[in-house]
Amino acid sequence: MKDFFKMMLASALGFIIASLIFSLISMLIMFAMMGSLMNSFGKQESFALQNNSVLNLRLEGAIQERIAENDPFTDLVGGVPSAMGMNDIIGAIRKAKNNDKIKGIYLDTRLFMASSATLAEIRQELEDFKESGKFIVAYADTYTQSGYYLASVADKVAINPQGMLDVHGIASVPFFYKDAMQKLGIEMQLFKVGTYKSFAEPYTQTEMSEANREQVNSFITDIWKSMKADMASSRNMETAQIDSIANRFPLLKKTDFLLSQNLVDTVLYESEMKNYIRELIGIDADAKIPSATVADMKSVKTQAVKKSTNSIALLYAVGSISSGNGSNGIQDKYMVNEIEKLRKDDDIKAVVFRINSGGGSAYASEQIWKAISELKSEKPVVVSMGDMAASGGYYIACNANKIVAQPTTLTGSIGIFGMVPNFGGTLDKLGISTDVVKTNKFSDFGDVSRAFNAQEAAMMQSYVNSGYDLFLTRCADGRGMPKDSLAKYAEGRVWTGNQAKEIGLVDELGGVDEAIRIAAEMANLGKSYAVFEYPRMKSPIGEIFNKNKEELAAKTLKGYLGESYDMFMLLKNIKDQDYIQARIPYDLNIK
């Protein structure tokens, strides 16, 4: 008995000590967060743009549509990659163009990640900047292909004498997991409509189907065609020269080769490059170069824009489409609520619906489609497509008044599928068996411990067929095309923006600005209007004290899992009975 009380006392004491330690750690984390926030706020408030400044356009990390300002989690959660908002980058370039204190841009492209349509959007902004007569110079130790695509715009492209430059073309190298899953006893039961609907291929095959190979070859060829045309134009070359250079793999060539092929203009050390910039802005050789970063430019004031009776809403829909009421990704209830608020706001005269999504739940896509239909009945809706607006992403776009896409946007993929795992083989390997008692014939429908029987499989396929017919109808009605005509371009096939314009899936080529211009024109606003972004981004303090634990967990998971996050969410949705999916091929692994 004495030993029992000793153990109980020790356990209680241990619990109290552990609680105190946990509380102390929590307080330290909170203070660290607050300190990080105060430091970031202080930095923004103390920045003052000087005369003869240079915009130091340093690109690194993942470039997303937009990010929360002063994100405290990036610094505090280990392993979370840094990110930049495309809207912040474009905003910084525009401010630099119109501010007399900025004399030019120093483009510093490091290791960053961005899809081709995002690159095109930033590149176009750099080209517009040059119209001001201000300079753009680019420097790097190593230019990635994406980095060089942007740098080729510059008036002078310089590289480290021992530097490297990559121009290699585009390849898609997807992974296939069928054999690995088979070893684990997992079978993916697939029900789909669309010859080109290839999302599930990694789980059901060991290589690309011929149809998928055809479509991937088509769209990566078209993306490369656009990219090499832009680079060739900026460097006064022929596109055939770009292909010839890519086939010699310049990454492993010395800088004299890069000079001889007109890929770069000069070879300089960074100190020499800085001296060249000093000459451009007319300051002494030993003087510090006045500069501003993208983050700094956020605090540079422009003419205040107030919401007026002539406003355009720029509504962002980014990520995987799913059922839910959270702000992470595109969750139907949350997005429908945002659309409803814009519909009821009399000051909002038009909406630009910015979509960057490869799709997701077909059910959720239908809910958002309905909300856009109701919004469109009262005010113009113009879709601006980002890197992709495909499958479910096209579903929620198809009913807009106008659709604008970048030439390299991935879109279309009009098709759906259902994918239900069968873990019966896994249970066998583990020596686990199941039994069933049921009141009705289909009481155990969808039981993942066994395969569908023939009748269940036929029912599931019929249901998917019906969903595809509805998807096709929505797109045909939205685009004003006969259903039979549209069907030729459906079948789950992915198209680039260039290709989609030719076949009538989009109306115009361009970026967000073009979509805003069209929306203003449709609403008869002339040039007197203001643009506001929705949904409103949460403040850093709001993020810290956010009571929605699921949102906080999702944010952290996304940081750690990166591109694998969408797969995690897919499995979660399947678990939650969101069987029917409208998604682009999952991991194109484009290099």
- 201 — pLDDT class (breaks 50, 70, 90): confident
Percent pLDDT > 90 in the chain is: 63
Asked if 57 and 122 touch (Cβ cutoff 8 Å), the reply is no
Alpha-carbon span 66 to 44, nearest angstrom:
18
Concerning whether 183 is annotated as a catalytic residue, the answer is no
Q: Taking the CA of residue 274 as centre, how many other CA atoms within 13 Å lie in the half-sphere pointing to its CB?
A: 12
pLDDT in tens, 369-423: 999 999 999 999 999 999 999 999 999 999 999 999 999 999 999 998 888 889 9
pLDDT value of residue 194: 82
Give the active site residue among 53, 115, 234, 391.
391
Same-fold call for 48-168+249-297 versus 311-435+444-534: yes
Q: For 480-490, how does the pLDDT look when each residue is reduced to its tens digit (9 = 90+)?
A: 999 999 999 99
Which secondary-structure segment (H or E) carries 379?
none
Q: What tens digit of pLDDT does each residue of 332-366 get?
A: 999 999 999 999 999 999 999 999 999 988 899 99
Query: Active-site residue among 95, 97, 103, 197?
Result: 197
30-44, 78-92, 504-518 — most confident range: 504-518
Quote the Cα angle for 54-55-61, to 5°.
145
The DSSP bridge pattern shows strands 311-318 and 330-331 to be unpaired
Look at residue 547 and tell me whether its pLDDT is greater than 50: no
Full-model pTM = 0.83
pLDDT in tens, 28-55: 445 554 554 445 444 445 788 899 999 9
Query: Would you call 565 helix, strand, or coil by DSSP?
Result: helix
Using a 10 angstrom Cβ sphere, with 0-12 exposed, 13-18 middle and 19 or more buried, the burial of residue 240 is exposed
Query: Domains of the chain: which residue ranges?
Result: 48-168+249-297, 311-435+444-534
Opening angle at CA 259, ends 256 and 265, nearest 5 = 135
Q: Is residue 391 flagged as an active site residue?
A: yes
Domain made up of 311-435+444-534: CATH architecture: Alpha-Beta Complex (3.90)
Fold of the domain built from segment(s) 48-168+249-297: 2-enoyl-CoA Hydratase; Chain A, domain 1 (3.90.226)
